[in-house]
Chains A and B, each alone.
Chain A
Amino acid sequence: MNATKSAPVAYRWDLDKTYVQTDFHTPRGLWRAATEGAADKRVVPGMRTLLRLLSERKEASIIVVSGSPTLLRSKIESMFELHKVRCDRLVLKDFGARLVRLRSLRAQVPYKLAAHLQTRLWLSEQSGTPAEYCFGDDAEVDALIYCLYTDALSRRVDATMLRDFLDHCGAYPDEIRSILEALSVLPRQDPVRRIFIHLDGRSPPSRFDAYQGRVTPTFNALQVALCLHEEGVLDASAVTSVAAALVTDFRIDALGLLGSLEDAMRRRLVQLHTAEPLLDSFGADSSIRQAGWSARFASRSLARLRSAYVIEPVLDPNRPLAYHELFDDERSFATARRMARNAAKRVPGLGDFLSGESR
């Protein structure tokens, strides 16, 4: 399972809410995303350092598939240049071609699945059958799309099941045809090592239990880096750089770093023997030291990590996923979250109080 240093590896990224902090739930946020310059784009804390470190690896290919419109291509490319991130393939959504197809404007599954398969074809031509790490967020259906992509490549989901599901998602017949064609060219393979889902929308990690452990929910870039360190992709100094970026960019303190580390251990993203040496590595970084990471803090942290509670896994990654139900659940979740967001804008009701429900 571990990706060795010389073997080609592809890092497949979503953009909005995974790398860039975008608020596309409000007209103001949409307008801002469309008009702000490359230098003004706010990046998810620590992700800039993480992606830069990954893109610096010679054997790595960086693929970005985003639902942002093609109009933003130059701005996004400038942003990556500014961030010193090498992006090998950038796929954006062509809204102009979809204006007459309203379903296609909003639908993410057919668009992203097709883009993932196309870029996999490109990867195969470039470097054979590289392993892949996928990065998405909890705002839309990234987890489902990445799992479907994995299952389609490995043929755990066959063409009939895929056609049926895409139809259920509202894909147009030509979109389905194009996806199946791309898939038929690709050999049966199982390249996806991990699917990271950044919990930008503050979803509880258990929301992804339905994916039977195939998805790794993470709270911040440090947890992603820790997991990649555990898998041998990143070394301790890279993890320390990500932690230092969280300190300088996000003003996270030593307790915050330790809390993230402990949570990663608790959820089995990293093991104690991997985490332990990092305590010294963090202590060697001046910005982390300034955030309160003293020698005494490190020794207390070690005791804390050694006594950390580790959750026993209860999920079965080999169990087939029920995509129809997952898709419907994701849609219900999105609706519920939208309603909650709207409700939160209102002052808590007097009616509840008078009915005695506020107790």
Chain B
Amino acid sequence: MPTRPTIVIDSYGGVDSPLRALRVAADLSLTRRVQIVLVGHAPVLHAHLATLSYDPANLRLVGTSIDYPPHTGDHLAEHRVLHRTLPLCLSLLEQGEGDALVTAASESVVWQVVTERCQRIRADIAPAMAAVIPTLARSSSDDPFALVLDVSGNSSANARQLRSWAALGGAYSRVVSGVRRPEVALLSTGRDQDQGPQSVTQAYRALQTHTDIQFVGNIQAVDIPRGLADVVVCDGFTGNAVRGVLEGVTQLTVEAARYAWRSKFAWRAGLRLLSSGVGMLKQVSEFQRYGGAPILGLQQLVFVTQPDASQLALENGVRLAAKCVDRELLQALELALEQVPKEPS
């Protein structure tokens, strides 16, 4: 009998903890495709679970004695709790009680805890956080999203790191998005080989010899939504800024549509007529809520959704995690990194 992926959900993260995570866990338990392990404060979880539809055959609650932080916007209190609970979730993965972790906790805390605690696939290769960005249609793939990594906010990356992240991103795109030979680009200030910082020009030369991926050279930030590459590689600080700008622009567009919807009946009627187009906008604008951002390069699979992510986003994060487990992403990442030469000691 084939085994189902077991996904650990951390109920401490996110603005509506633990109710959103609990609802997602209960809903997904009814599908039978995945085994859910929900980690949270025992009395609260158990009391709320009884009010939801769920299937105990597919849902396990792992109770802790740690109470939820108050929803007062006190980030310090929240971070203190997360620094205690995330290691508990990770320990379940280490003990083989789960295959992947999905959390809506603050990205910076998750990054800190995960990179401290989890072992890397290869000790000399740093992990990277990836995010999806919607693009125009690409010739290489039906997937409407491109993968950008690293978006962790870390300020620097050398050529070796960029090269290894290209390998990780390529493997992810191949396994998860189903792109046979992913087009990988480096993010730079121009398309020429010599443009950009030294790390980028060095990585450019190294990636030209890579056979698993199709290196398409440098692209600019404006080219990401145009769909010029399946995977875009940059340092964490740049990636974080690029993602923030794109999310801001999308939010602005959606708010404009909402303003039109609220303001005048005639505009609302117009939007009704354009409903299929607006529907596409809705689909694309919710990209950051679809699934989660995977952290690649570690021996554990960890996915981070936004703290204010909708229930659908968190659900999709779990589905994405299950897909990665099913398609043996970790093994694919290990294999991809074999192409990256070891750092001379």
Question: Which of B54-62, B142-150, B178-186, B224-232 lies at the interface?
Answer: B54-62
Over the window 51-94 of chain B, the binary record of Cβ atoms lying under 8 Å from chain A Cβ atoms (1 yes, 0 no) is: 11111111111010000000000000000000000000000000
B222 contacts the other chain (CB 8 A): no
Q: Mark B306-327, 1 if CB is under 8 A from A, else 0.
A: 0010100000000000000000
Min C-beta distance of A8 to chain B, whole Å: 33
Complex Cα gap A206–B53 (Å): 10
Q: Determine the residue in chain B with the shortest Cβ distance to A351.
A: B261
Let me know if B310 and A359 touch, CB within 8 A.
yes
A309 engages B282 (CB within 8 Å): no
Question: Given the complex of chains A and B, what is the CA–CA distance between A219 and B56 in angstroms?
Answer: 7
Bitwise interface map of A from 251 to 281 toward B, beta carbon under 8 Å scored 1, else 0: 1110111011011101100000000000000
Q: How far is the CB of A278 from chain B (nearest CB, A)?
A: 16
> Is B121 an interface position by the 8 A CB rule?
no
CA distance A322 to B43 in the complex (A): 29
Is the C-beta of B205 less than 8 angstroms from some C-beta in chain A? no
Q: Which residues of B contact A260 (CB under 8 A)?
A: 56-57
Please, which residues of chain A bring their CB within 8 A of the CB of B51?
204, 206
Interface bits B241-283 vs A (CB < 8 Å: 1, else 0)? 0000000000000000110011000000001000100110010
Report B96 CB to chain A, min CB distance, Å: 9
CB contacts (< 8 Å) of A204 on chain B: these are 50-54
Q: How many A-B residue pairs have CB under 8 A?
A: 78
Q: Does B30 count as interface, using CB distance less than 8 angstroms?
A: yes
Interface flag for A49 (CB, 8 Å): no
Q: Is B211 an interface residue (CB 8 A)?
A: no
Contact with A along B156-184 (1 / 0, CB 8 A): 00000000000000000000000000000
The residue on A at minimum CB distance from B56 is A263
Question: Given A251, A255, A267, A354, which contacts B257 in the complex, CB threshold below 8 Å?
Answer: A354
Q: Taking the nearest CB of chain A, how far is it from the CB of B200, in angstroms?
A: 37
Whole-angstrom distance between the Cβ of A32 and the nearest chain B Cβ: 23
Asked whether B42 lies within 8 Å of A253 as measured between CB atoms, the reply is no
Whether A311 lies near B1 (C-beta < 8 A) is no
Listed by A's residue number, 25 A-B pairs whose Cβ atoms lie within 8 Å are A204-B52, A204-B53, A205-B50, A251-B1, A253-B1, A253-B3, A255-B35, A257-B57, A259-B57, A259-B58, A259-B59, A259-B60, A263-B56, A292-B3, A311-B46, A311-B50, A350-B278, A353-B282, A354-B261, A354-B278, A355-B258, A355-B261, A356-B258, A358-B310, A359-B310
Interface residues of A (CB under 8 A from B): 199, 202-206, 209, 219-220, 223, 251-253, 255-257, 259-260, 262-264, 266-267, 290-292, 304, 309, 311, 350, 353-356, 358-359
